[in-house]
Each structure stands twice: as structure tokens, then as C-alpha cells.
Amino acid sequence: MLTFQPIKISNMYLKNRIVMPPMCMYSSDDSGFVNEFHKVHYISRALGGVGLIIQEATSVEKRGRISGNDLGIWEDAQIEGLKELVSSLKKHDSKVAIQLAHAGRKCGVKSEDIISCSSINFNDDYKVAREMTIDDIKSVVESFKAAALRAFKADYDAIEIHAAHGYLIHQFLSPITNHRDDEYGGSLVNRVRFLRDILTQVHEVWPNDRPIILRISASDYVKDGIDVYMMRDIVNQIKDLIDILHVSSGGLVLAPINLFPGYQVKFAEYLKEETGLPTIAVGLITNIEQVEEIIGNNRADLVALGRELLRNPNWVLNHANSYGVKI
């Protein structure tokens, strides 16, 4: 079966096509350190046979957290716990990536200095963000670079840059949230500049033989926001700096989304065709028939099961057993 066929992307070999996508568990504390929960949580999925595990959004700055209980990679003291976690997962033959993230205006820790490309809050439950200066932008770019170096020291197989779901990089990309009139706002080239700066700096410390994944939202689902065609143009500007495209949608503003099984797969399929990049499809995918259809029709290269892997850590093993596939 296609689900259980191995694949090599860049120099990363995956034993099957199933990905555990990053899902915020909010189970650390103000320190951002790994604890026993994370070990049990992730090792369970590695034992269950997942090919690639992408660790939840891990903040590159303390002010970039989504919540006060996010994992962090903003200081060297956090490396040891992350390295122990990675080592444990690799013992069970899963590859491991880390999602490097900054929440920007969606930081829910109200005591922090909330920043964004423009001074706009997400909704009334969030503080109004302070518009970032050029020095702020340079500082955050440097934080992503430092986090990537820490991720290398912790021995992750890949890193994922979080540019989706309304967090800081997405805020720069979308004309809905980016109202700047300097070199980081206005034209599409300018709105992509922050992401390009981050990727360029990350490449200075991240080995060329380990993939960089980019998580994107292919649609804002609102008028004048990003749609899949604009996202195609965004990705084509920076595709020389990434190896895999992880295709999601939404999250920038509150918007109606027509949800159904595989509702985002069409975005992954289109962007795979238009950019030439390998893609990860995600979004209410639960059964092996969906996975087989997506891979068999070349709509994506990998398939991420989020909620389904929370419910069933042994999804891969159970289906392999059902179809007589030996693992």
C-alpha cells in the first residue's frame, strides 16, 4: 500500500507517508522546558509507527508564545530536554522535526510585549500589538536563526518554520494585517521580505542536508486576504530556501470555513503542481482510504493526521495489521 511506502525528501528518509503535525499541547510552564508529558505524548506516536513527527509550535522568543505553557527554544538551557526527547523518538525509527514559531499579535500572555507588523489586535480578547520597528524585525529574525542553531544542537532531522494560522510571519504576509509603508509592507515582495530574511538567516546555521519545512495558510477566507493564487506567488519567491511545503489554511482572522474531510487537500495539490515542491496535506483526514487516494493521485507526498493521532497513537500499526503489512 502507498501509505506504507518509504520516501526520501532532501536527505531525510521516511519509512512511511504518515506525519504527526504540530499541535499545541500547552503542557509546559513559564520556563518552556520539556517535561514528562511531552516524552509520553511524542514517544507514544513514535512507538505507533509514525514516519515523521513534527513537534508542536516551539517559541523562538518568550514574547512569541501562544500561551504561557508553550514549549520554548529561546535559550540554551532548553536544549538538553529537547535533545533527550529527540533521542528517545529516534530510537523508535521516527524522524523528528520541530516547528519554530512566533505568535506575534496572537500571543495570549498579556504581560508580554505583544508585537506585530502593524498595531492591530486579533480580537477583543487580545492586547493591541505594538508595531515592530526595523530593530524589532532584525531581533526576531536573529531569534529564528538562534533557535535553528539550538534545534541543530538538539539533533532534529528537520525544522518547520511556522508561517501559518495567523501567527507573526503570516501577519507580515497578508495585506489584511500588514499595513506597513516601509520595505516590509505594501507590495507582495515587501510583505514576503520578513519570511525571506528568516529563511536566509536560518540557512546560515542549518545544514543543507536536513530539510526545512514551511507551514503556510493557503487562504485567509476573507476578501482581499491571501488566497491560494497569492500563496503560489509567495511560495515561488522563496522556494529556493525550503524543501517541503506543509499546507494548511485560515487562522489570520475569524472567518467562516466550510469544513469537510480533506478540505485543504486541494490547496496542497495545487501548490505542489505550481511550485514543484513536495507537499504535506492535512485537514480532517482520518482513514486510510483518504490517505491512499491523496498519495495515489499525486495530490501530496505526505499526509498529516492531527486529531486522529491524538485519538489513536497506533493508527499506523493498526492499519498495517489490518492490511497484512509487516512493520
Among residues 205, 69, 108, which one has the least CA distance to residue 147? 205
* Residue range 235-246, pLDDT digits in tens: 999 999 999 999
Annotate 16-72 with DSSP letters as a single string. Answer: SSEEE-------S-TT----HHHHHHHHHHHHTT-SEEEEEEEESSGGG-SSTT-EE
**Stretch 258-269: mean pLDDT, rounded?**
97
Q: With a cut of 90, say whether residue 327 has pLDDT above it.
A: no
**Which single residue is written with the C-alpha cell 525571506?**
196
Q: With a cut of 90, say whether residue 253 has pLDDT above it.
A: yes
Q: With a cut of 90, say whether residue 305 has pLDDT above it.
A: yes
Which pLDDT score is estimated for 86?
A: 97
DSSP run (H or E) holding 279: strand 279-282
**Stretch 265-289: mean pLDDT, rounded?**
97
**Stretch 284-301: mean pLDDT, rounded?**
97
* Residue range 128-141, pLDDT digits in tens: 999 999 999 999 99
